[in-house]
Chain A
């Protein structure tokens, strides 16, 4: 069943039993695009006057990232009891990019990224930390590192060789202090660019995947969570109203070409 989170029902979401872990980004220490490999978002925003037609085209041709993920039967990630949503949100974006590229599906390990960053503690973070780590070090397949295993024993020669195959080479850092941030994120998903979005009110990070038209000039953000397929529709759900405006947003653009 589709879950829609909005300004009227959001409180029920922060008392749910699921783990989260997004930590409000320290903008003093991490100003926008200050990470070594991050670029400031410089794509022109698509005017709202074009959104309806573009969404209709996307629906008619079944060409959104959600359509692609469903066609490839790619499951929602599941962070289980970890506080690593900030990495799982980024990995959901990478998974969508690879699916759109028609690269073979690889299930990536959240813990192979988040655990080393946080010195093997089950604590929160924000998406840019995960992306920057994946630029430098890559991410492992779950064949070499179970996705929620917070253990140094998996950091071995095999897993290191595997993670080097899977790296981000370009990513955008979106300025969320700007009033237009919702329009920027909508522009991304209209362009089939998935966005890892963090929400201070929810203390949770998810991945924006597809645009939703509500009618009357209103729109929602179609996202995928990292709470497994049982949440929403195979992990997909929608954010609308002020609850759709992210506190932090990062966009992986290019991922290395690897068939395994």
Chain B
């Protein structure tokens, strides 16, 4: 009950408009990834892309999203910690943080994980680039 009350206060004070496709409990929570730094992970099923609306499919590789992530995400080996992974990917040499992020519980696909180390989002991928950018900017500035 306490958690619900905190959520309600958060919405009222910050006048947040939830993106379509985002569920409330997922939107407001502690950091999905505890390590410091801004990170983004989209988990999908490549063979199921045909079922996604074109507007949602465009999120994965859109210029707006990738440019934002290039600028904001923490870099490991000079690469921004932003990934789009198939749910069945096998890691041979990924960062430990990346591997851990893939183990975060998902309830559907595609799934979006955004974390700045203090707070973040773990929930369904919104349906448009604009809605996704709102989630990213909330935690990445």
Chain A residue numbers with a CB within 8 Å of B46 are 170, 193, 253-254
Residue B14 at the A interface, CB < 8 A? no
Query: Are the CB atoms of A101 and B90 closer together than 8 Å?
Result: no
Query: Are the CB atoms of A192 and B94 closer together than 8 Å?
Result: no
Which residues in chain A, 204-260, are within 8 Å of chain B measured between CB atoms?
253-260
Chain A residue numbers with a CB within 8 Å of B93 are 165, 257-260
Fill in one digit per residue for B22-55: 1 if any A CB lies within 8 Å of its CB, else 0: 0000000000000000000000001101100011
Pick the residue among B58, B66, B78, B84 that contacts A71 (CB under 8 A): B66
Query: Are the CB atoms of B91 and A193 closer together than 8 Å?
Result: no
Query: Are the CB atoms of A256 and B57 closer together than 8 Å?
Result: no
Query: Are the CB atoms of A254 and B55 closer together than 8 Å?
Result: no
Residue B13 at the A interface, CB < 8 A? no
Given contacts A57-B54, A193-B49, are A257 and B90 in contact (CB under 8 A)?
yes
Closest to B99 in A: A257
Pick the residue among B50, B78, B83 that contacts A103 (CB under 8 A): B83
Chain A residue numbers with a CB within 8 Å of B15 are none
Chain B residue numbers with a CB within 8 Å of A103 are 79, 83
Closest to A104 in B: B79
Given contacts A57-B58, A68-B66, A100-B61, are A257 and B94 in contact (CB under 8 A)?
yes
Chain B residue numbers with a CB within 8 Å of A61 are 58, 62-64, 129
- Distance between Cα atoms of A138 and B129 in the complex (Å): 35
Residue B98 at the A interface, CB < 8 A? yes
Chain A residue numbers with a CB within 8 Å of B80 are 102
- Distance between Cα atoms of A58 and B55 in the complex (Å): 9
* A-B residue pair count with CB separations less than 8 angstroms: 111
Q: Number of contact residues on B: which range applies?
A: 35 or more
Fill in one digit per residue for B56-96: 1 if any A CB lies within 8 Å of its CB, else 0: 01111111101101000000111110111110111111110
Size of A's binding interface in residues, CB under 8 A? 40
- Distance between Cα atoms of A46 and B63 in the complex (Å): 24
Given contacts A102-B79, A191-B57, are A257 and B89 in contact (CB under 8 A)?
yes
Chain A residue numbers with a CB within 8 Å of B83 are 101-103, 257
Closest to B73 in A: A102
- Distance between Cα atoms of A151 and B77 in the complex (Å): 31
- Distance between Cα atoms of A62 and B62 in the complex (Å): 6
Residue A37 at the B interface, CB < 8 A? no
Query: Are the CB atoms of A62 and B84 closer together than 8 Å?
Result: no
Closest to A72 in B: B66
Chain A residue numbers with a CB within 8 Å of B129 are 61
Query: Are the CB atoms of A256 and B66 closer together than 8 Å?
Result: no
- Distance between Cα atoms of A46 and B49 in the complex (Å): 11
How near does chain B come to A214, taking the closest CB pair, in angstroms? 20
Query: Are the CB atoms of B61 and A192 closer together than 8 Å?
Result: yes
Pick the residue among A62, A166, A187, A255 that contacts B63 (CB under 8 A): A62
Chain B residue numbers with a CB within 8 Å of A100 are 60-61, 84
Fill in one digit per residue for A4-48: 1 if any B CB lies within 8 Å of its CB, else 0: 000000000000000000000000000000000000001110100
Chain B residue numbers with a CB within 8 Å of A193 are 46, 49
Pick the residue among A71, A187, A258 that contacts B94 (CB under 8 A): A258
Chain B residue numbers with a CB within 8 Å of A180 are none
Fill in one digit per residue for A62-91: 1 if any B CB lies within 8 Å of its CB, else 0: 111101100100000000000000000000
Given contacts A102-B69, A165-B93, are A57 and B55 in contact (CB under 8 A)?
yes
Chain A residue numbers with a CB within 8 Å of B58 are 57-58, 61, 63
By a beta-carbon cutoff of 8 Å, the part of chain B in contact with chain A is 46-47, 49-50, 54-55, 57-64, 66-67, 69, 76-80, 82-86, 88-95, 98, 129
